[in-house]
A = this chain, B = another copy of it.
Amino acid sequence: MKKCILITAVCLCSQLVFSQNTDSVVIKKIVDETMTNGAAYENLRKLCKQAGPRLSGSPQFANAVRLVSAMMKEIGADTVYLQQCMVPHWVRGEKEKGQIILFIGKKYDLKLCALGNSVGTGAKGVTANVIEVNSMEQLDKLGTNGVKGKIVFFNFPMNQTYIKSFRAYGESGVSRNRGPALAGKYGAVGAIVRSLAINLNDYPHTGATGYNDSFPKIPAVAISTNDAEYLSKQLKRKNVSKAYFRTMSKMLPDAPGYNVIAEKRGSQFPEEIITVGGHLDSWDLAEGANDDGSGVMQSMEVLRTLKALGIKPKRTIRAVAFANEENGGRGGQKYLDEAKTKNERHIFALESDEGGFTPRGFSLDMTEAQRNKIMQWKNLFYPYGASDIIAGGSGSDVGHLKELGTALAGFTPDSQRYFDIHHAATDVFENVSRRELLLGAANMAALIWLVSEYGL
């Protein structure tokens, strides 16, 4: 009996080794094809330079839908189609301005921008005393007495010691996400938020803020990290008389948005759907090259590469350019709703929305058995830099599919540079490396191919 188990184990083991050898040959071909002939980089250039910034509801987003649909046809998808959904339509309006007024009579111009979804100040702007807070607890403690009639300055520097910078973004991000709502609750007249940039620079980084319908909605801006340092220093020295800012942003009625989908039907199990995607919308200040043009282009590259190699995936693969990730999440929701309506079977979904940087690995949100299956493939990714495969989150677009029990994953590129450019005017095509982008796409293609071949 023991002998039998041993023999079985040896057989299974050598089978695994044998199949991994064959798999590694296919994956090498996938990587070679992507690195040599990949279209993702030039397509990203087109998206960034021809459509440009493409916030939900903008004509630029509509232009991006046309561009990406054409690219999807170009790469040879079986079908290319749109899913329409209504999306928030926020507009920034006239360029913002703001100042710190010092007691010595000097004025200091702030490099600022309105936060996404925020209400405007009106033409007069807001002028008030400023109070700095460094945690949400501190604001709660100050309460109405400490805050009423003031501008609250949320100075939450990102933690430099977190090697995975998304962790720092998560922690400090509460200032932008929930800060203005809470300041409104306590009667503040405005919120100034330190940009969620991990280094000191002169660019304001926008991003959505979330109001709470039970509290007054107050205008809110992000200032550059350099300005945050300056403001904090002046406050400590008791030099600040007042601050002033003016934003003309407003929320218009919902507008149509679109998920753009390229589908390659599976040859053996067409009803089992694998999704790979990123989001097509971007902030209005940025070309959205890393956030998230790169994810869209990498997802399309997966299909292009497999097609170029003549690989016929056993399961259906969809590359999806999601609508409205930045300020509503309606595209992801729509994708889920359609899946439910059509009773689709979504076995796996992979998202790339952490920038087109050099690959490190994948983060898996699925059952332990599924995770173990993927982790068995770890060595296949090692030569291509994406073997750091761990349990974790996926992404906010594919995340909606959790409701269906879909196995989810996020592509994890290196995160050191992301929060230099995230949601800022510096998120441009020129800050994407061709080889980093393609190497990410190649690893994504390898994972998608493995799942399409072996299921989960």
Contact = CB atoms under 8 A, between A and B. Distances in A.
A50 interface: no
A433 interface: yes
Interface in A126-176: 160-161, 163, 165
Interface in A360-376: 360
Interface string A421-436: 0000000000001111
Contacts of A433: 416-417, 420
Contacts of A160: 35-36, 435
Nearest to A36: B160
A182 interface: no
A385 B198 CA distance: 18
A429 to B, nearest CB: 14
A163 B36 contact: no
Contacts of A384: 163
Contacts of A435: 160, 165, 198-199, 416-417
Contacts of A165: 435
B163 A32 contact: no
A383 interface: yes
A138 B416 CA distance: 44
A23 interface: no
B414 A161 contact: no
A193 interface: no
Nearest to A419: B435
A163 B36 CA distance: 11
A35 B415 CA distance: 14
Contacts of A383: 163
A445 to B, nearest CB: 14
Interface string A17-41: 0000000000000011001100000
A349 interface: no
A112 interface: no
A127 to B, nearest CB: 35
Nearest to A433: B417
A172 to B, nearest CB: 15
A37 B28 CA distance: 42
Contacts of A436: 416-417
Contacts of A114: none
Nearest to A360: B385
Contacts of A32: 161
Interface in A3-55: 31-32, 35-36
A268 to B, nearest CB: 30
A360 B414 CA distance: 10
A439 interface: yes
Q: Which of A31, A32, A36, A414 has the most CB of B within 10 A?
A: A414
Interface string A214-226: 0000000000000
A36 B161 contact: yes
A282 interface: no
Given A358-B358, A434-B199, A163 B417 contact: no
A168 to B, nearest CB: 11
15 contacts: A35-B160, A35-B163, A36-B160, A160-B435, A163-B383, A163-B384, A163-B385, A198-B435, A199-B434, A199-B435, A358-B358, A414-B414, A416-B436, A417-B436, A420-B433
Given A163-B383, A416-B433, 8 more contacts: A31-B161, A36-B161, A163-B384, A198-B435, A199-B434, A358-B416, A414-B414, A420-B433
Interface of A: 31-32, 35-36, 160-161, 163, 165, 198-199, 358, 360, 383-385, 414, 416-417, 420, 433-436, 439
Closest 5 CB pairs of A and B: A416-B435, A32-B161, A358-B414, A35-B160, A416-B436
